């Protein structure tokens, strides 16, 4: 018996899930990208278990996907080095740019009409969509692992634990200018955690961001460089399990902020999704363990739904997929479910 | 839940414990000490009657058993004499009290040192934990500079007796400082040192005692530590004030990593570990996906 308000999609990808994304103007339109070389488009509420509207085949595993300017445009990033635009109505795909290694993330910023892709070739590509075929390159010091943005800032987490924060305004200007963009990051930070950064996610109120590491830990930081704001940053342990006096520490694969309440969800290799209140430093709730690693989480724009992509991570080198381990779960949140609790004090 | 941290008694608690003059054993309570003395030292070997004092036992022996008591039973060497009337802690000669306190003190610091070496934890009173923790001041740079400027002016005018700010910067003197030093009995009553004087060093009694008040901290003095006695030269003063400001600025960030490092590495197992290769890159290298990789 599945918990109330939670269901799984009926037609799931056949290989691990790399990303789930809700449409900006609809809380039932969901994109899923997968290692099975497809991008899936669902209407999650059309029928029980959701309806698969269409799937878009790619030449290589798809590592990330995002919606573009409207409900009918998407962008994908893949192991074949390409950044693609997908017309969700006609199914037409156009390559926008080619990196020199796999493309890990794509992000579309609505206020700045800017598409950013981040790759293992240690570059960002900026795409000004009004100039098709044009893109600008920004060199990074290391492979990009995670990309996220708030209304004004873009945060890139990289391999050597460094984190660069760019101003989207400047990036948008550079993209319009074209060519090799020479945009310096607004801030260069080192991760406050000792281990590799796994995911970053920005607070919807533009105040800061959360980052997670492969060593069961999440850090919350603020953009404001003042001493006062920086002293507020903290990190905490999560997604761990004690087995016979040994702590099994899972990577925290996914982070997503709730667009309305400003709380955030973390998903770990232990198959657990937890909701946290970043301000009061409290865990709000933790959901029942999923049968495999939680790879990706996204809240719908109105904050009423959360989608969770669950699949084995193959971190241990084995690539055996147990039956039913690859699934997208959708949860309908009650009004107060993701709301932060007031501090007890 | 984590295990509650063991609370080790501090020196004052140890020194307050009643102890037996005859055998140097210490007890939780005076009542227990007295019953110990009655059972071990003041008990008649003929009839088992327990007397209150050695003198009482002597009278009992002569009157009841027509025997002479020569020395107190179970006493350590030199303490078995009948000339001293002992009841509980009463009647113990002051020099013996001092000798005992000195031994307890030495043992205490030796224990603390050994524990510090074994656990790596800071000694009591040397860290910022517990009662000595100062509330973190949230001052802006301007406020600190303002305070520093006021201090400079006051100092130049000779207004301030001694800098308040600097006194606050010194860690609160550990409770240890107030216990009656055995040696002090020579010159001053216990606990009453002349104001400002450094308490006399207990000769040879404290091997490698860390965290003693009169010992300077290891390594260079902290940037905020000021010379307390004597007016420092003007340049030194400004320099140390600058240090103070710099210290206050970097304090919040500097504290965090130190705290992290002091935490012990537990027995942990990382499900995924790599310095530079992300899980996705590892996946991309698996045979089932490698065929799609572009080269």
Phi-psi region of B122 (alpha: psi -120 to 50; beta: other; left: phi over 0): beta
Amino acid B124: pLDDT: 64
pLDDT band for position B1 (50/70/90)?
A: low
Amino acid B209: pLDDT: 42
**The dihedral formed by the CA atoms of B141, B147, B151 and B152, expressed in degrees to the nearest 10:** 40
Top residue of A192, A227, A252 to mutate, by most chain B CBs within 10 Å, is A227
Amino acid B243: pLDDT: 55
Decide which of B185 and A89 is more confident: A89
pLDDT (mean) for B46-64: 90
pLDDT band for position B174 (50/70/90)?
A: very low
Identify whether the C-beta of residue A261 lies closer than 8 Å to the C-beta of residue A340.
yes
| Average of per-residue pLDDT values in chain A | 90
Pull the structure tokens for residue B53: 């004092």
Nearest to B173 by CA among B209, B219, B208, B132: B132
* Whole-model pTM over 0.90: no
Q: Chain B: residue nearest A120 by CA?
A: B281
Contact call for B138 and A317, based on CB within 8 A: no
Amino acid A154: pLDDT: 95
User: What percentage of chain B has pLDDT greater than the value 70?
Assistant: 58
| pLDDT of B217 strictly over 60 | no
**Which of B275, B276, B283 lies nearest to residue A314, judging by beta carbons?**
B283
Which chain B residues are Cβ-neighbours of A102 within 8 angstroms? Answer: 280-281, 284, 293
Task: Report the relative pairing of strands A217-222 and A234-237 from DSSP bridges.
Answer: antiparallel
Contact call for B138 and A104, based on CB within 8 A: no
Amino acid B84: pLDDT: 86
Gap between the Cα atoms of A159 and B182, Å rounded: 61
pLDDT band for position B136 (50/70/90)?
A: low
Q: Enumerate residues 6+ apart whose C-beta is below 8 A from B230.
A: none
Top residue of A59, A62, A105, A214 to mutate, by most chain B CBs within 10 Å, is A214
**H or E segment and range at residue B28:** none
pLDDT band for position B133 (50/70/90)?
A: low
Q: Range with the lowest mean pLDDT among A307-311, B55-59, B151-155, B188-192? A: B188-192
Amino acid B227: pLDDT: 40
Decide which of B132 and B121 is more confident: B121
Task: Write out residues in chain A with pLDDT < 50, as ranges.
Answer: 1-2, 344-345
- Is the ipTM above a cut-off of 0.90? no
pLDDT band for position B135 (50/70/90)?
A: low
Amino acid B223: pLDDT: 42
Q: Please report, in angstroms and rounded to a whole number, the separation of the first and last CA atoms in chain A.
A: 38
């Amino acid at each position: 018996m599945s918990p109330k308000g939670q269901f799984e999609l009926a037609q799931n990808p056949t290989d691990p899930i790399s990303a789930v994304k809700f449409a900006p103007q609809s809380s039932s339109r969901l994109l899923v990208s997968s290692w099975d070389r497809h991008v899936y488009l669902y209407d999650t509420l059309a029928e029980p278990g959701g309806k698969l509207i269409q799937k878009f085949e790619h030449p290589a595993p798809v590592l990330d996907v995002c919606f573009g300017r409207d409900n009918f445009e998407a962008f994908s990033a893949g192991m074949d080095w390409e950044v693609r635009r997908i017309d969700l109505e006609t199914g037409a795909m156009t390559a926008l740019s080619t990196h020199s290694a796999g493309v890990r993330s794509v992000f579309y910023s609505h206020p700045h009409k800017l598409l950013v892709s981040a790759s293992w070739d240690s570059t960002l590509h900026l795409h000004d969509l009004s100039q098709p075929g044009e893109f600008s390159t920004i060199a990074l010091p290391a492979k990009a692992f995670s990309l996220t943005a708030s209304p004004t800032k873009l945060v890139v987490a990289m391999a050597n634990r460094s984190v660069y924060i760019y101003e989207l305004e400047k990036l948008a200007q550079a993209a319009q200018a074209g060519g090799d963009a020479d945009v310096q990051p607004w801030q260069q930070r080192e991760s406050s955690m000792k281990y590799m950064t796994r995911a970053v996610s920005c607070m919807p109120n533009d105040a800061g961001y959360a980052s997670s590491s492969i060593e069961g830990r999440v850090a919350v930081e603020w953009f404001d460089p003042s001493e006062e704001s920086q002293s507020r940053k903290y990190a905490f342990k999560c997604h761990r399990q004690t087995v016979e006096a040994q702590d099994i520490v899972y990577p925290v694969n996914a982070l997503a902020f709730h667009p309305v309440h400003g709380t955030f969800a973390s998903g770990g290799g232990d198959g657990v999704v937890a909701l946290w209140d970043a301000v009061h430093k409290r865990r709000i709730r933790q959901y029942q363990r999923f049968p495999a690693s939680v790879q990706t989480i996204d809240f719908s724009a109105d904050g009423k739904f959360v989608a969770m992509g669950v699949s084995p991570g193959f971190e241990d080198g084995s690539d055996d997929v147990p039956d039913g381990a690859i699934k997208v779960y959708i949860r309908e949140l009650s009004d107060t479910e993701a709301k932060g609790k007031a501090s007890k004090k | 839940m984590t295990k509650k941290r063991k609370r080790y008694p501090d020196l004052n608690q140890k020194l307050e414990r009643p102890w037996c003059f005859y055998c140097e054993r210490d007890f939780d309570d005076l009542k227990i000490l007295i019953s110990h003395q009655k059972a071990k030292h003041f008990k008649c070997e003929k009839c088992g009657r327990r007397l209150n004092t050695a003198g009482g036992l002597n009278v009992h022996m002569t009157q009841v058993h027509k025997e002479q008591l020569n020395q107190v039973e179970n006493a350590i060497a030199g303490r078995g004499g009948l000339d001293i009337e002992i009841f509980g802690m009463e009647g113990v000669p002051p020099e013996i009290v001092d000798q005992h306190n000195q031994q307890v003190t030495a043992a205490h610091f030796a224990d603390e040192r050994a524990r510090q070496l074994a656990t790596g934890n800071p000694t009591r009173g040397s860290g910022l934990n517990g009662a000595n923790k100062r509330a973190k001041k949230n001052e802006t740079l301007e406020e600190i500079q303002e305070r520093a400027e006021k201090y400079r002016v006051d100092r130049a005018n000779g207004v301030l007796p001694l800098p308040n700010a600097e006194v606050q910067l010194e860690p609160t003197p550990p409770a240890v400082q107030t216990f009656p030093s055995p040696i002090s009995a020579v010159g001053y009553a216990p606990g009453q040192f002349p104001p400002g004087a450094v308490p006399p060093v207990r000769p040879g009694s404290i091997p490698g005692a860390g965290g003693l008040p009169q010992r300077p901290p290891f390594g260079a003095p902290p940037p905020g530590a000021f010379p307390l006695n004597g007016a420092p030269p003007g340049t030194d003063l400004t320099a140390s004030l600058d240090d103070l400001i710099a210290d206050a600025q970097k304090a919040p960030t500097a504290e965090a990593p130190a705290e992290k490092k002091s935490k012990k590495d537990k027995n942990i197992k990382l499900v995924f570990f790599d310095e530079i290769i992300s899980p996705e890159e590892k996946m991309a290298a698996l045979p089932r996906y490698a065929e799609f990789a572009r080269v």
